[in-house]
């Protein structure tokens, strides 16, 4: 089992509630969230009005994605952060970067069983079920 948390993404007046994979392999130097095109569309971020295209090495090879700086706000169990959105047409679920997981204080206790907590508490939390989104190219 992988570690997934329930999140709420907000961009302007639009919001999406879904699960997100806490992906320590998604290394970044900023609070980044990778989202499928459908999630970006529901947030009113697709098609992009102004954004830049970035290339990233992924498990599936090099991918070009639309990068929207400070594109949304994320909420996990009442904790909020401003996030950059990377729109990736090849994924089917939301991914939280290692940087963002650290900013939110997410501590992975047992990746196999999906146990986690926030770094400033002792409450044991469990992974949520994945929510898959249709892929669009």
Q: How confident is the model at residue 50 (pLDDT cuts 50, 70, 90)?
A: confident
CA quadruple 2, 97, 79, 41: dihedral sign: negative
* Of residues 38, 22, 16, the one with CA closest to residue 103: 22
Query: pLDDT digit string (tens) for 66-101?
Result: 999 999 999 999 999 999 999 999 999 999 999 999
How confident is residue 102, by pLDDT bands cut at 50, 70 and 90? very high
In contact, 48 and 37? CB cutoff 8 Å = no
52-83 as b/e, with b when 16 or more CB fall inside 10 Å? eeeebebeeeebebbbbeebbebbbeeeeeeb
The yes/no answer on whether domain 4-121 falls in CATH 1.20.58.2030 is: no
* pLDDT for 137 beyond 70: no
Residues 6+ apart with CB under 8 A from 1: 111, 112, 113, 114, 127
CA 49, CA 41: separation in Å to the nearest integer?
A: 12
Q: Provide the residue ranges of all domains of the chain, joining segments of one domain with +.
A: 4-121
Would you place residue 51 in the very low, low, confident or very high pLDDT band (cuts 50, 70, 90)? confident
83 in Cβ contact with 100 (< 8 Å): yes
């Amino acid at each position: 089992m992988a570690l997934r948390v329930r999140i709420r993404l907000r961009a302007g007046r639009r919001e999406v509630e879904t699960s997100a994979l806490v992906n320590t392999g998604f290394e970044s130097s900023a609070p980044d969230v990778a989202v499928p095109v459908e999630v970006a569309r529901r947030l009113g971020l697709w098609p992009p009005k102004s954004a830049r295209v970035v290339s990233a090495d992924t498990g599936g090879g090099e991918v070009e994605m639309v990068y929207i700086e400070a594109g949304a706000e994320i909420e996990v169990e009442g904790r909020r952060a401003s996030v950059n959105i990377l729109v990736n047409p090849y994924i089917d679920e939301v991914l939280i970067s290692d940087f963002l997981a650290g900013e939110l204080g997410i501590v992975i206790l047992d990746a196999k069983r999906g146990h986690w907590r926030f770094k400033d508490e002792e409450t044991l939390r469990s992974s949520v079920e994945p929510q898959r989104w249709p892929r669009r190219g």
